[in-house]
Chains A and B, each alone.
Chain A
Amino acid sequence: MTGRTIVVTSGKGGVGKSTTTANVGTALAMRGHRVVVIDTDIGLRNLDVILGLESRVAYDLVDVVQGVCKLHQAMIRDKHRFELYLLPAAQTRDKNCIQADQLNALCRNLEREFDYVIVDSPAGIDQGFKIAISAAREAIVVVNPEIAAIRDADRVIGLLEAAGLHRPKLVINRVSQEMMRRGDMMDEDDIVSLLSVEVLGMVPIDERLIIATNRGVPVVYDRKALSGVAFQKIAARIDGDEAVIPVANAKSGLMDRVRGLIGIDRSAFSHV
């Protein structure tokens, strides 16, 4: 059985691609899968800091494709989940350092060893984006409920379809249930009617996510965080579990609330 290679992309920058990659990757690992997340944003590396692994980077993606090091030397094992690995981007190189066929070969190789290969794409729609999507067999588009992000997402969806990545799925990040209730923010129906794609889930704006990122611990470990719960549900859907689309302020189950009172998933912070 081979793994699934999924690209996370958006067109517009700053919508939460790397945050989504880190949290969905971690959540899939928490579900027992072997996961590798690849940062392809060469020159603007960030997935390492979001996962709290920046101090362990020795080699990177460009080193691997250029044969400077072995693949396993560049892969960093996560602190909390031993099923999760990061392949970091090069920080001091540019996007011409890697070719589509090289990333493609790498992903095919990784699919033999991992259940999920998640490729974090750079923003934009030029070379780096094209290389990132060329290796993937499925795509997730991250969007915020605002005009510029949705317009860029539509463009990206067109490019994904043209590249043979059919039916990309949408993650709507930074939603405010309160603003939607007031009619001040586009809701899921609005976005689906504009983009005609399936929604994997909606992630609320969440201070706890900012705090978790500052600490270098993905927010999926914080059981009190609504954004973390949303990312867990998105991972469950990717994994074929038809969980209900998370609503930003949905009431959680009794056990979730009890765990919430205790605080966070202890396994996450015991190593910190």
Chain B
Amino acid sequence: MFDAIKHAAANGGSAKDQARRRLHDTLIQDRVDLAPEVMEALKRDLLGVITRYMEAPEGFQEFEVRRENGWPVLVCRLKVREHQSKIASININ
């Protein structure tokens, strides 16, 4: 039992960081009522659509459902290539 806790501690940083990370993911699912694999599919599909029009070599830097003025808001953020050389940033709200 205690070994299980020690094992979790060794892999995930401080207890509060683990709690925050786990809650972060759980709250996203709770807010939009989508299973994690469905969220992953959405992420993959969205990235597929965007990369048909522009290059996004690093994928999503941010992909979450926040609460803004009472409403759940899907916030995605990814870097895209501008003129094949410079990198710009776009937000989808």
Contacts and interface: CB of A to CB of B under 8 A. Distances in A.
Interface of A: 146-147, 150-151, 154-155, 157-158, 161-162, 166-167, 180, 183-187, 190, 193-196
Given A146-B19, A150-B23, A190-B19, 7 more contacts: A147-B23, A155-B30, A158-B72, A166-B69, A180-B16, A184-B15, A196-B68
A154 B70 CA distance: 11
8 contacts: A147-B26, A151-B27, A157-B67, A161-B70, A166-B70, A180-B16, A186-B16, A190-B19
Given A147-B22, A157-B67, A161-B70, A187 B16 contact: yes
A190 B67 CA distance: 15
Interface of B: 14-17, 19-20, 22-24, 26-27, 30-31, 66-72
B27 to A, nearest CB: 5
B13 to A, nearest CB: 8
Contacts, number: 52
Given A147-B22, A151-B30, A154-B30, A184 B16 contact: yes
B67 A183 contact: no
Contacts of A190: 16, 19-20
B27 A194 contact: yes
A154 B31 contact: yes
A164 B17 CA distance: 33
Nearest to B22: A147
Nearest to B26: A151
Contact of A158 (B15, B16, B20, B67): B67
B65 to A, nearest CB: 11
B20 A186 contact: yes
Nearest to B68: A196
B34 to A, nearest CB: 15
Contacts of B67: 154, 157-158, 161, 195-196
Contact of A194 (B17, B23, B71, B72): B23
Query: 3 shortest A-B CB distances, which residue pairs?
Result: A161-B70, A183-B14, A184-B15
A186 B23 CA distance: 11
B73 to A, nearest CB: 10
A191 to B, nearest CB: 9
